[in-house]
C-alpha cells in the first residue's frame, strides 16, 4: 500500500511540475526583464518557448517510452528538467533563457506524457478512471498555486531562485521515480523498429477514429481551459476591478471546483461509463458559458453571475479531462505512449492557439471569453457524443 501511495504521489508531482514551471516565475517577469536587459515581450517569448517545448517533448518522449520503456524516459527527462532549471537560474541573457526554457519544457513533458502511460499500464476499468480523476484534480491546482508560491519566494529571494526551486523539485521527483515508479512496460509489449516504428505507431493511433475523436475533444477542452486563463485575468482585473487578493480567491475557488468535479467523477466512474460522464461534463461546461454569454451580451454580468458561470464550467473540466484520458488511453492501449503524446500535444497546442482568440474577439465585457470558451465546449460536447456513440457501437 505504501509503494502504491508513493507511486501515485510521484505521478501527481510529475503531472504538476510543468504547470508549476509555466506560471511560478510569472510574478518575477518584470525583475527578470530588468536583470537580463530585455522587454516584457522578450520575457513572454521565454514562456512561449517553454510551451512549445512541452508540446514537442510529448510528441517525442511518449512514443520513445513505448520503444525503450517508461523508467528510462522518466528518469532522464526529470533529471534534465532539474538541470535545465539550474541553467535558467544562471542564464546570462534572454536568448539563453529562451533556449533553456524550451529545453526545460521538453524535458518536463516526460512527466506528463509518460506518467499517463504508466497509469494505463498498471490500472484498468473503473480504477483507471479513478486514478486519472485524482491526478487531474491535483494537476488543476498547479496553475493556481504556482503564482502564489512564486510570489512568496520572490518576497524573500531574487527571481533566479524560482528556477533553483524548480530544479530542486525535479531532483526530488527523480529520486521518487527511482524509488517508487516500477517499469510498467514489459519487453514483449514494446514497440519495435526503432524511431521509424515509434513514428508509425503514432501515425497508427492518430488514424484510428476511436483514438482521434478523444484526442480532438481533448484539444477543444484544452482550448477552453486556456481561454479561461487568458480571459479571466482581463475580466476580473479590468472589468470587475477586483484586487489581486480577491482575484486569487476566485481562481482558488474555481480550482477547488475543478478538484471537486474530479473527485465526484471518480466516485461516479464506479457505476457509470466514462463516455457518459464525458457528455455530462461537456454539456454542463457549455451551459455555464451560454448563460454567461447571454447575460454579458444583454443586461451585463456582475461579479457573482460571472463567477458562478465560470465555476460551473471550470468544475466541468473535472469530468472532461479524466474521462477523455481514460477513453483515449484505453482505446490506444497497444501504444500508450504514442496515444498519450497525441492527447497531451492536442491539449497544449489547441490551448496555445485559443488564448489569443479571446483578445481578438473584442473587449468591454465578459462576452468574448464566454464566446471562445463556449465555442470550444460546444465542439467538445459534439466530440463527447461521438465518443459515446463509438462506445455503444463497439459493444453491440
Is residue 305 within 8 Å of residue 292, measured between CB atoms? Answer: yes
Look at residue 108 and tell me if it is in a domain: yes
Whether residues 47 and 167 fall in one domain: yes
Q: Please report, for the domain that includes residue 55, its CATH number.
A: 1.20.1250.20
Whether residues 172 and 215 fall in one domain: no
Is residue 227 within 8 Å of residue 360, measured between CB atoms? Answer: no
Provide the number of structural domains found in the chain.
2
* CA-based torsion, 274, 377, 251, 32: positive or negative: positive
Look at residue 345 and tell me if it is in a domain: yes
Whether residues 312 and 363 fall in one domain: yes
Whether residues 215 and 84 fall in one domain: no
The reported pLDDT for the residue numbered 1 is 40
The reported pLDDT for the residue numbered 363 is 67
Look at residue 136 and tell me if it is in a domain: no
pLDDT in tens, 100-114: 999 999 999 999 999
For the record, the C-alpha cell of 71 comes out as 523508467
Look at residue 173 and tell me if it is in a domain: yes
The reported pLDDT for the residue numbered 316 is 96
Whether residues 294 and 231 fall in one domain: yes
Look at residue 195 and tell me if it is in a domain: no
Whether residues 170 and 308 fall in one domain: no
pLDDT in tens, 192-202: 777 788 888 88
Per-residue b/e over 312-337, b at no fewer than 16 CB within 10 Å?
Answer: bbbbbbbbbbbbbbbbbbbbbeebbb
Look at residue 196 and tell me if it is in a domain: no
Whether residues 341 and 280 fall in one domain: yes
Whether residues 113 and 2 fall in one domain: yes
Domain enclosing residue 177, as ranges: 1-126+142-190
Whether residues 182 and 205 fall in one domain: no
Look at residue 286 and tell me if it is in a domain: yes
Residue 2 has pLDDT above 60, yes or no: no
Whether residues 157 and 212 fall in one domain: no
Residues 319-343, mean pLDDT to the nearest whole number: 93
How does the average pLDDT of the chain come out, rounded?
Answer: 90
Whether residues 391 and 362 fall in one domain: yes
Residues 186-192, mean pLDDT to the nearest whole number: 85
Residues 350-379, mean pLDDT to the nearest whole number: 88
The reported pLDDT for the residue numbered 396 is 62
pLDDT in tens, 147-170: 778 878 888 889 999 999 999 999
The Cα 248–Cα 264 span in angstroms is: 24
Reported as a pLDDT band with limits 50, 70 and 90, residue 362 is low
Reported as a pLDDT band with limits 50, 70 and 90, residue 361 is low
User: Which residues have CB under 8 Å from 24's CB, separation 6+?
Assistant: 146, 147, 149, 150, 153, 162, 165, 166
Look at residue 131 and tell me if it is in a domain: no
Per-residue b/e over 58-86, b at no fewer than 16 CB within 10 Å?
Answer: bbbbbbbbbbebbbebbbbbbbbbbbbbb
Whether residues 170 and 290 fall in one domain: no
- Of the chain, the percentage scoring pLDDT greater than 90 comes to 61
Amino acid at each position: 500500500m505504501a509503494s502504491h501511495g508513493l507511486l501515485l504521489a510521484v505521478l501527481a508531482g510529475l503531472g504538476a511540475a510543468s504547470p508549476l514551471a509555466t506560471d511560478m516565475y510569472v510574478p518575477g517577469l518584470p525583475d527578470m526583464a530588468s536583470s537580463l536587459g530585455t522587454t516584457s515581450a522578450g520575457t513572454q517569448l521565454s514562456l512561449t518557448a517553454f510551451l512549445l517545448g512541452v508540446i514537442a517533448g510529448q510528441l517525442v518522449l511518449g512514443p520513445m517510452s513505448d520503444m525503450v520503456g517508461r523508467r528510462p524516459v522518466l528518469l532522464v527527462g526529470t533529471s534534465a528538467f532539474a538541470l535545465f532549471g539550474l541553467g535558467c537560474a544562471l542564464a546570462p541573457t534572454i536568448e539563453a533563457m529562451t533556449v533553456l526554457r524550451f529545453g526545460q519544457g521538453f524535458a518536463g513533458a516526460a512527466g506528463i506524457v509518460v506518467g499517463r502511460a504508466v497509469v494505463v499500464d498498471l490500472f484498468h476499468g473503473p480504477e483507471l478512471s479513478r486514478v486519472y480523476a485524482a491526478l487531474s484534480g491535483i494537476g488543476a491546482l498547479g496553475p493556481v498555486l504556482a503564482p502564489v508560491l512564486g510570489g512568496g519566494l520572490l518576497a524573500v529571494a531574487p527571481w533566479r531562485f524560482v528556477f533553483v526551486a524548480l530544479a530542486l523539485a525535479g531532483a526530488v521527483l527523480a529520486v521518487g521515480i527511482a524509488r517508487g515508479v516500477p517499469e510498467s512496460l514489459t519487453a514483449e509489449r514494446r514497440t519495435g523498429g526503432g524511431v521509424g516504428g515509434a513514428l508509425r505507431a503514432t501515425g497508427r493511433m492518430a488514424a484510428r477514429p476511436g483514438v482521434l475523436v478523444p484526442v480532438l475533444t481533448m484539444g477543444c477542452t484544452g482550448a477552453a481551459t486556456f481561454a479561461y486563463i487568458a480571459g479571466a485575468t482581463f475580466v476580473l482585473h479590468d472589468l470587475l476591478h477586483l484586487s489581486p487578493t480577491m482575484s486569487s480567491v476566485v481562481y482558488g475557488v474555481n480550482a477547488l471546483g475543478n478538484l471537486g468535479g474530479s473527485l465526484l467523477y471518480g466516485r461516479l466512474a464506479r457505476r457509470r461509463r466514462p463516455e457518459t460522464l464525458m457528455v455530462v461534463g461537456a454539456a454542463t461546461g457549455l451551459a455555464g458559458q451560454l448563460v454567461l454569454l447571454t447575460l454579458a451580451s444583454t443586461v451585463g454580468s456582475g461579479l457573482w453571475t460571472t463567477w458562478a458561470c465560470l465555476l460551473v464550467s471550470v468544475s466541468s473540466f473535472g469530468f472532461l479531462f479524466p474521462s477523455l484520458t481514460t477513453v483515449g488511453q484505453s482505446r490506444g492501449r497497444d501504444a500508450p505512449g504514442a496515444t498519450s503524446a497525441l492527447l497531451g500535444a492536442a491539449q497544449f497546442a489547441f490551448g496555445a492557439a485559443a488564448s489569443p482568440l479571446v483578445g481578438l474577439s473584442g473587449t468591454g465585457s465578459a462576452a468574448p471569453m464566454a464566446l471562445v470558451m463556449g465555442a470550444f465546449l460546444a465542439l467538445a460536447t459534439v466530440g463527447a457524443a461521438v465518443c459515446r456513440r463509438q462506445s455503444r457501437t463497439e459493444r453491440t
